[in-house]
Structure 1
Amino acid sequence: MEIKTDFLIIGSGIAGLSLAIKVAGLGSVAIVTKKEKSESNTNYAQGGIAAVTDKTDSFEEHINDTLDCGAGLCNRDVVEFVVREAPPRIQELIAWGVNFTKSEAPPHLYDLGQEGGHHRRRVLHAKDLTGREIERALHEKVAALSNVRIYENHIGIDLIIRKDAQGRTINCLGAYVLDIHNGEIHTYRAKYTILSTGGAGKVYLITTNPDIATGDGIAMAYRAGAKVANMEFIQFHPTCLFHPEAKAFLISEAVRGEGGILKLRSGETFMEKYHPMKSLAP
């Protein structure tokens, strides 16, 4: 079967859904996602989103915290762009229906959390299910758009690439997609193909990354000739719940922000040996 669309978006997390909302006014949109539409890295995010929204905070402080955490590996231009763009993106999410938690005390401002590496409270959250709340709001917004269709349980196999006589890539024409339930491969032809497929953290056996993070989109891009860089930067979350007979899961970084202390099995603290921020170290 062949499906034609103006925009083909592979991935249904915050990146793919927010893009679909923005381009829906420009043409038809097909979103391909390999499991249920809400199954994404976004959905598992707990702690929140860091942004300068409090009058006592500043872009410079947020930038400096980020550069310190990066230990000399950050691209300063990228850091400054992301930090300065964060507040308008937060307002965009709020306009789309995301309900970030507010303080119970007047004047009921947003309840800002503090996480590792931050010297100020600047993390907006929706209780401890921030990612799930963002997914809920974005899916509701997308559902109201008549020209956006989501194909669940469809996994991208390969990009359709047009090459010249010398074998050099000219452009992308869409993708081959497997319908998991029917076992059929469909051809999706699109004017624009966007990969919003998340990372590859689940290639490691011991990780708090969700099972969905298998790097499919990165592999598709690589096979198509795209340059791939910085693959060594995989997040290993510092806190998770371990059980010998159950799957380990992430314990939000916000726990340390609210006073949680890292200790050895003996009860002894140890982070003061390694960083002046102790358990709030990046």
Structure 2
Amino acid sequence: MTKSILITGSSSGIGYAAAHTLQGRGWRVFASVRKPEDKARLEQEGFESVLLNCADTTSIDGGLAEVLERTGGRLDALFNNAGFGLPGAVEDLPTDGLRETFETNVFGLHHLTRAVIPTMRAQGHGRIVQHSSGFGRHVMKWRGAYNASKHAVEGLTDTLRLEMRGTGIFISTLNTGPVTSKFRINSIPHFERWIDWENSADPDRYKRELFHHLYEDTGRAPFQKEPDAVVRRLIHAIESPNPRPRYHITGATHIAEGLRRFLPQRALDAIAARL
């Protein structure tokens, strides 16, 4: 029987690469997107696509219901990939901006995860892969909203993994470092909507430290990988008989984990403050 997977955030980047690769491996891929034009584009490319906005529970429920109707009520895997960043200093981050970030990155992910579990319990198996980040375990300046959302994903996912033991449902986390995508470009509208940098305590700091990285293509970051590096770990998480609880992807995440084990917090703070 052909296995099925629902992938959120499939319009570009990692989700798009995952959809292509898994379809090529024989998976029945449901590539979810927020915009009708992206849905039409993916369908022209031969994908089964559904509209699913992770910031809208009604949209989540409707998108999943459409998938389950097409599969006859089965779903073998879920890849919660959708998410975005809101750059800015924490002291300038409005609560509503943080709330908007959590709606997609945390609450939408959580809602969809809970919604698929009854199906997976009924069929006796399933794989749920949560796309966290290296920033789910470490932090850098200017990324407070994103750091916080991914730390929340880590806590929910680690707990769920323990609670699903023995059910046949395996839970894995992807901790991804720098990967080629539209993440930087997609974060600009969120920054411009929510961060009043001109009236911040230190506007010049934004110009010195953030704008160059936010508004300009500065080339490849150290240890940057292409989306295929993430897809390879995803394949292991959904196809291996013994998937790992956690996958560190790119050298940056491995180095950060190593430093975390051996250095005190003051030293880690000093390193992160210089990045």
- Please state which band the TM-score falls in when normalised by the shorter chain: under 0.3
- Structure number with the bigger relative contact order (C-alpha 8 A, sep ≥ 6) is 1
Q: TM-score under structure 2 normalisation?
A: 0.28
More helix by share: 2
Q: TM-score, normalised by structure 1?
A: 0.27
Between Structure 1 and Structure 2, whose CA radius of gyration is higher? Answer: 1
